[in-house]
């Protein structure tokens, strides 16, 4: 028992130490970093990737109205140099997009669509260059049933989003589709915890109902069991009389006798805590135990 | 042949063909950990069926350059890698163990008192609390889910979920789950006493109704249909569990049922333990995450016990016939250990209060509840 207590205290200490170590390991390493593969479909580009916190791949479609989109690429968090951004909020990563607007200084509409996006998905990028501040780039979300959620945003050549900041006929932007990590983690957690309750409650209701059916079936079965058939003239039968055959004392095997003796011995010495109401039950208990011991040869 | 050449030859052999020069302090630490778990299994009898093969697996793979895990020069898996790939990574063994568990389980107490299913759900509280807790420590969502399920106190479910979501944490999670399951008699009683009054501990529950053989036979079909319909992701585990139980209750395939309960279960347990232990190589295991897992695993068990008892208290507000809150702690699976703990604590409060059969119901509900929670987690990351 002492070893177990020691083990538990060791684990509690480990937890406290680990809590301290987590200061340096803040938000852990990015072991699930998405690795997108880009393919062109007409004028659209499609990125296929496994986002953080998922096991199956998703598709994000990129499309531009009023300009030409070159092949997008993914960009590392450190490369993007956004020190105040928690990459956990960007489960599908960051994208670097090169767009050529139809006129220098002109505007294009960037369209992103994916089944993975929700109505809460936002697109973040630069909102202020001096302090590397990121925020929403101003989006419109369109959700149509059975179709991927579409997000669009108007981007102007030379605006704060444009990496070179000049209206030179080339737009380069770094953006990331954003969903709150903690919002998702806590939200889905609560839903799933109550989901377990819901599932087991449904099972419980199913079992209560089926239990009632079975109880009534059993009850009906018992009622339907035929009792002794009524007869017109009951015949009085002479009850059979069984006479117990006397057991010659000398025929009791030695091991049975020993078992009975042992039973009585156990009862009188080892069974002090047994509280039986009368002498008859005491004797019955002793004989029962003896017979049990004889039958099992004391192995149980 | 010069002496220089002979010395070079010996040196080369020593360096490339023996493990001695490759020993690191990490190997030493892992060997000590292996010996510790072997001692717990053999010397102290803590879950020996699992901790012994796991301990030996750790022991084996923590010698340098041993061809046991990973691929050989020809690109084929080494011996234990084969066991791991075909048994654990493919998720076969946890499901086969569930088959055996199903064949061993008598659902009678749960069928007689289905309300106990709610306790099984409440006792999953720790799974979700731990999930959030480890997220604060930098775990990914999938890792957090696999650590959270430890509190479900169900070894195969823990292994199944971890193999699916965070295979690199398999060794630590499995070890934490089985270690704490062995320590249920130590972890639970203080929480049980803290959360109940002596009067509540003395509550006597009505004897359970008899359950007919036909009812027991139909339960795996009805239960499986409902659960799999609501959480399809849990079908591999729950399907095997209910199949094993159906074999048992049909009483027509005694040989198959016996095999599932005994021989098959024993065979897969050997391979499971060895494979899980073998994942704990020094270079993978020695970091801060396993430490956290063991710490949070304990917290998980505590919160799950708390959740089960709290659920009973809440249920008692609405029920005419009160439930003894001691059986709430049996809502964590750990079959039948936690039910036994409830029973023993009940006897301490009243020597004539026999809670064993009542506690078996939330205990079985805990198995279903933890599998349901695992299914929910898997669905979440699909």
**Which value does ipTM take for this structure?**
0.87
Q: Pick A243 or B6 by higher pLDDT.
A: B6
Q: Is it the case that residue A22 has pLDDT exceeding 50? A: no
Q: Which two tokens stand for residue B242?
A: 């209910």
Same domain, B243 and B324: yes
Instruction: Identify the pLDDT of residue A245.
Output: 47
Q: Which of B121, B347, B365 to mutate to test the interface with A (most CBs of A within 10 A)?
A: B121
Q: From the CA of A289, how many Å to the nearest CA of chain B? A: 22
Please answer whether residues B217 and B250 qualify as being in contact, where contact means their C-beta atoms are separated by less than 8 angstroms.
Answer: yes
Average of per-residue pLDDT across B64-77? 89
Please answer whether residues B331 and B362 qualify as being in contact, where contact means their C-beta atoms are separated by less than 8 angstroms.
Answer: yes
Average of per-residue pLDDT across A198-210? 93
Tell me if A53 and B141 make a contact (CB, 8 A cut-off): yes
Burial A239-255 (b: 16+ CB within 10 A, else e): eeeeeeeeeeeeeeeee
Instruction: Identify the pLDDT of residue A247.
Output: 47
The verdict on residue B44 lying in a domain is yes
Interatomic CA distance for residues B123 and B334, integer angstroms: 12
Distances (CA, A) of A219 to A213, B6, B110: 10, 92, 21
Q: Is it the case that residue A229 has pLDDT exceeding 60? A: no
Q: From the CA of A199, how many Å to the nearest CA of chain B? A: 7
Q: Which domain holds residue B9?
A: 1-66
* Number of structural domains in chain B: 2
**Which residues of chain A have a CB within 8 Å of the CB of B164?**
55
Please answer whether residues B237 and B91 qualify as being in contact, where contact means their C-beta atoms are separated by less than 8 angstroms.
Answer: no
Q: Is it the case that residue B257 has pLDDT exceeding 60? A: yes
CB-nearest to A185 from B135, B138, B297 is B135
Q: Is it the case that residue B68 has pLDDT exceeding 80? A: yes
Q: Which of A24, A194, A199 to mutate to test the interface with B (most CBs of B within 10 A)?
A: A199
Number of Cβ pairs < 8 A linking chain A and chain B = 155
Same domain, B199 and B276: yes
Same domain, B27 and B102: no
pLDDT tens digit string along B17-37?
Answer: 888 888 899 999 999 999 999
Average of per-residue pLDDT across B337-353? 92
Q: From the CA of A30, how many Å to the nearest CA of chain B? A: 8
The verdict on residue B73 lying in a domain is no
Residues 59-98 of B with CB under 8 A from A: none
Same domain, B88 and B39: no
Interatomic CA distance for residues B323 and B342, integer angstroms: 12
pLDDT tens digit string along B195-206?
Answer: 999 999 999 998
The verdict on residue B76 lying in a domain is no
The verdict on residue B72 lying in a domain is no
Q: Is it the case that residue B14 has pLDDT exceeding 90? A: no
Q: Is it the case that residue A242 has pLDDT exceeding 80? A: no
Q: Is it the case that residue A278 has pLDDT exceeding 70? A: no
Q: Is it the case that residue A85 has pLDDT exceeding 90? A: no
Of A142, A152, A158, give the one whose Cα is nearest residue A175. Answer: A152
Q: From the CA of A54, how many Å to the nearest CA of chain B? A: 4
Q: Which two tokens stand for residue A36?
A: 């997108």
**Which residues of chain A have a CB within 8 Å of the CB of B227?**
199, 203
Same domain, B34 and B150: no
The verdict on residue B78 lying in a domain is no
Instruction: Identify the pLDDT of residue B2.
Output: 85
Interatomic CA distance for residues A232 and B237, integer angstroms: 62
Same domain, B230 and B356: yes
CA-nearest residue to B311 within chain A is A197
The verdict on residue B79 lying in a domain is no
Query: Phi/psi zone of residue B163: left (φ > 0), alpha (ψ -120 to 50 degrees), beta?
Result: alpha
Interatomic CA distance for residues A170 and A38, integer angstroms: 21
10 Å Cβ neighbour count for B292? 26
Q: Is it the case that residue A83 has pLDDT exceeding 70? A: no
The verdict on residue B329 lying in a domain is yes
pLDDT tens digit string along A131-169?
Answer: 778 889 888 988 777 788 999 999 999 888 888 888 888
Place of tokens 């406290």: A16
Q: Is it the case that residue B96 has pLDDT exceeding 60? A: yes
Burial A80-114 (b: 16+ CB within 10 A, else e): bebeebebbbbbbbbbbbebbbeeeebbbebbbbb
Same domain, B51 and B129: no
Interatomic CA distance for residues B123 and B153, integer angstroms: 10
Least confident residue range of A29-38, B51-60, B326-335: A29-38
Average of per-residue pLDDT across B145-150? 92
Helix residue ranges, H only, B74-154: 79-83, 92-104, 108-112, 117-122, 125-136, 141-148
Same domain, B96 and B173: yes
Same domain, B195 and B319: yes
Please answer whether residues B345 and B117 qualify as being in contact, where contact means their C-beta atoms are separated by less than 8 angstroms.
Answer: no
């Amino acid at each position: 028992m002492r070893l177990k207590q020691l083990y538990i205290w060791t684990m509690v200490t480990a937890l406290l130490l680990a809590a301290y170590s987590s200061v340096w390991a803040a938000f852990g390493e990015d072991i699930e970093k998405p690795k997108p593969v880009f393919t062109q479909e007409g004028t659209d580009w499609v990125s296929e990737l496994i986002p953080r916190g998922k096991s199956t791949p998703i598709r994000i479609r990129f499309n531009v109205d009023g300009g030409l989109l070159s092949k997008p690429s993914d960009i590392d968090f450190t490369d993007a140099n956004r020190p105040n951004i928690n990459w956990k909020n960007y489960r599908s990563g960051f994208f670097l997009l090169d767009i050529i607007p139809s006129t220098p200084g002109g505007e294009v509409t960037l369209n992103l669509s994916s089944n993975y996006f929700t109505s809460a998905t936002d697109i973040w990028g630069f909102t202020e260059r001096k302090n590397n501040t990121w925020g929403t780039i101003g989006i419109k979300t369109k959700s149509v049933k059975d179709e991927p959620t579409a997000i669009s945003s108007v981007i102007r050549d030379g605006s704060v989003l444009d990496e070179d900041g000049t209206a030179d006929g080339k737009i380069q932007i770094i953006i990331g589709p954003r969903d709150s990590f903690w919002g998702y983690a806590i939200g889905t957690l609560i839903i799933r915890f109550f989901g377990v309750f819901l599932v087991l409650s449904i099972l419980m209701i199913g079992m209560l109902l089926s239990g009632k059916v079975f109880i009534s079936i059993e009850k009906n079965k018992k009622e339907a069991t035929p009792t002794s058939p009524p007869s017109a003239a009951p015949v009085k039968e002479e009850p059979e009389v069984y006479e117990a055959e006397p057991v010659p004392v000398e025929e009791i095997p030695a091991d049975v006798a020993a078992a009975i003796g042992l039973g009585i011995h156990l009862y009188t010495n080892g069974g002090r805590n047994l509280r039986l109401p009368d002498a008859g039950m005491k004797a019955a208990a002793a004989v029962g135990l003896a017979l049990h011991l004889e039958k099992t040869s004391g192995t149980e | 042949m010069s002496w220089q050449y002979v010395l070079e030859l010996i040196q080369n052999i020593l360096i490339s063909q023996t493990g001695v020069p490759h020993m690191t302090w990490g190997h030493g630490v892992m060997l000590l950990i292996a010996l510790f778990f072997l001692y717990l299994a053999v010397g102290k009898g803590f879950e020996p069926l699992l901790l012994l093969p796991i301990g030996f697996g750790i022991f084996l793979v923590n010698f340098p350059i041993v061809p046991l895990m990973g691929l050989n020069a020809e690109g084929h898996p080494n011996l234990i890698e084969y066991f791991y790939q075909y048994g654990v990574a493919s998720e076969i063994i946890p499901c086969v163990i569930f088959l055996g568990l199903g064949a061993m389980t008598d659902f009678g107490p749960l069928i007689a008192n289905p309300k106990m299913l709610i306790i099984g759900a409440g006792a999953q509280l720790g799974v979700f609390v731990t999930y959030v807790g480890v997220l604060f420590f930098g775990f990914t969502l999938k890792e957090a889910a696999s650590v959270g399920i430890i509190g479900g106190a169900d070894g195969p479910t823990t292994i199944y979920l971890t193999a699916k979501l965070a295979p690199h944490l398999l060794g630590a999670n499995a070890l934490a789950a089985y270690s704490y399951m062995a320590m249920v008699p130590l972890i639970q009683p203080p929480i049980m006493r803290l959360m109940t009054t002596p009067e509540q501990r003395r509550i006597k529950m009505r004897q359970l109704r008899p359950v007919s053989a036909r009812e027991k036979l139909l339960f795996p079909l009805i239960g499986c249909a409902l659960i799999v319909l609501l959480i399809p992701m849990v079908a591999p585990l729950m399907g095997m569990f209910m199949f094993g139980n159906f074999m048992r209750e049909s009483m027509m395939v005694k040989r198959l049922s016996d095999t599932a309960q005994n021989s098959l279960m024993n065979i897969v347990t050997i391979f499971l333990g060895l494979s899980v232990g073998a994942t704990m190589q020094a270079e993978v295991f020695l970091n801060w995450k396993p430490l956290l897992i063991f710490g949070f695993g304990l917290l998980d068990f505590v919160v799950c016990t708390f959740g089960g008892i709290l659920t009973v208290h809440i249920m008692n507000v609405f029920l005419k016939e009160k439930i003894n809150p001691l059986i709430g702690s049996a809502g964590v699976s750990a079959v039948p250990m936690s039910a036994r703990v409830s029973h023993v604590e009940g006897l301490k409060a009243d020597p004539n209060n026999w809670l064993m059969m009542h506690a078996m119901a939330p205990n079985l509900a805990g198995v279903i509840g933890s599998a349901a929670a695992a299914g929910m987690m898997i669905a979440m990351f699909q």
